[in-house]
Amino acid sequence: MNSAINRQFRLKYRPEHRVTRDHFDFVEEPLPQPGPGQALLRNLYLSLDPTNRIWMSDMEQYMPPVQLGDVMRGSGIAQVIASQDPHYQVGDLVMGLIGWQDYTMTDQALRYAPLPKGLPLDLPTVLGVLGPTGLTAYFGLLEVGQPKSGETVVISAAAGAVGSIVGQIAQLKGCRAVGITGSSEKCAWLTGELGFAAAVNHRDLGWKDQLKQACPNGVDINFENVGGEILDTVSSLLKLRARIVLCGLISAYNNGHSMASRADLVPILMKRARIEGFIVLDFAERFAEAQAELGQWLIAGKLKHRETIVEGLEHVPEAFNKLFDGDKIGKLMVKIADPQ
């Protein structure tokens, strides 16, 4: 070990709006040694995801909120550096809930999954495409959205970690992917490298007309990450029996304790459409199957990806806001340490 201390961001106050460093205590704890049935992990890459913002609030949610005083929860990749648990061997690379800290002590209640073996992929790629965000894209589009060849799939936050994968899987399945994103640079990435059929910048004055023109036959599937005006605009273009895959509502996450994100249901009624919420954890039994297929696509060059990597655990709170500022492209993560 390089260090005998474990730096940790512990949740101090629940943010109502934008997250700041002041919402956390940045503490240093002595590094414990694993007891029987435990393993000690060195955290390497921490994933930053919009859903982390939900965990900071005490609203009713799909997992228990992070308790005040606890280490902030986060997914990532780590390496086993000491083990008294036969499931983990020193040197193993694993993925799971590591938290905003330098080291993680494993907990019997949480399973840390070994990284998929035999794939010639670097760790950021594995975390982004084979981790929670890639899996969210995979199951959300294929299981909840049920895309059929020839359909038009509109994706909001399309240049994000989830959206960029959703659009490419849609294209692989014979659909037309249309992305909504927040800059012309991101639009160019989507329609260029990623092969989206079209992309519109919601900061352009005429974006609603552009979206309509990009969907001349209407929208079969909306993969929704944002909510608010963006969702209502897509809803106005829904086809009969369209499906809205409700993955996230990021436009509401910094809007105070009583987080709410309202959407017009009149088009849902008129078009006999469906809105369905989902959480990737519901598909945990099938993660390995999905990772195998995503891995194949990656190796075949069919899934392009980009990462925005911030160096240093100490920068996590500021890095986190890049999710809300649109100030990054692809998958956002923090590099904490190199593997040994």
Residues at the site binding its own copies, with contacts judged by CB under 8 A:
59-62, 227, 231, 236, 246-249, 252, 259-279, 282
Report residue 28 as tokens: 């240093």
As a whole number of angstroms, the distance between CA 182 and CA 120 comes to: 32
Does residue 167 contact residue 198 with C-beta atoms inside 8 Å? no
Instruction: Using the minimum distance from each CB to its own copies, give the nearer residue, 271 or 305.
Output: 271
Q: Are 102 and 313 in contact (CB under 8 A)?
A: yes
Q: How far is CA 15 from CA 55, 169, 180, 256, 278, in A?
A: 11, 35, 28, 8, 25
We find the least distance from the C-beta atom of residue 140 to its own copies, in angstroms, to be: 11
Nearer to its own copies by Cβ, of 183 and 236: the residue is 236
Of 148 and 272, the one with the shorter C-beta distance to its own copies is 272
Concatenated DSSP letters for 294-332? HHHHHHTT-----EEEEE-GGGHHHHHTHHHHT-S-BEE
Q: How far apart are CA 281 and CA 96, in angstroms?
A: 12
Taking the complex as a whole, the smallest distance from the CB of residue 324 to its own copies amounts, in Å, to 17
**Could you give the 3-state DSSP secondary structure of residue 184?**
helix
Least distance CB 33 / its own copies (angstroms): 38
Residue 185 vs 264, nearer CB to its own copies: 264
Q: Minimum CB separation from its own copies for residue 276, in Å?
A: 5
Distance CA 6, CA 3 (A): 8
- Determine the Cα–Cα distance for residues 298 and 161; give it in Å rounded to an integer: 15
Place of tokens 């309509």: 212
**Shortest CB 136 distance to its own copies, Å:** 12
Q: How far is the CB of 309 from its own copies (least distance, A)?
A: 28
The separation between the first and the last C-alpha atoms of the chain, rounded to the nearest angstrom, is: 10
Q: Which one, 85 or 232, has the nearer CB to its own copies?
A: 232
113 vs 252, which CB is nearer to its own copies?
252
CB of 163: closest distance to its own copies in angstroms?
16
CB 70 within 8 A of CB 10: yes
The number of angstroms, rounded, from the C-alpha of 53 to the middle of its chain's C-alpha atoms is 12
Of residues 172 and 268, the one with the C-beta less far from its own copies: 268
Run of H or E including 166: helix 161-172
Shortest Å distance, C-beta 11 to its own copies: 19
Query: Bridge-partner residues for 21, per DSSP?
Result: none
Helix (H, G, I), strand (E, B) or coil at 96: strand
Whether the CB-CB separation of 226 and 157 falls below 8 Å is answered with: yes
Of 19 and 273, the one with the shorter C-beta distance to its own copies is 273
Q: How far is the CB of 311 from its own copies (least distance, A)?
A: 32
Asked if 102 and 44 count as a contact pair (C-beta separation under 8 A), the reply is no
Which one, 195 or 218, has the nearer CB to its own copies?
Answer: 218
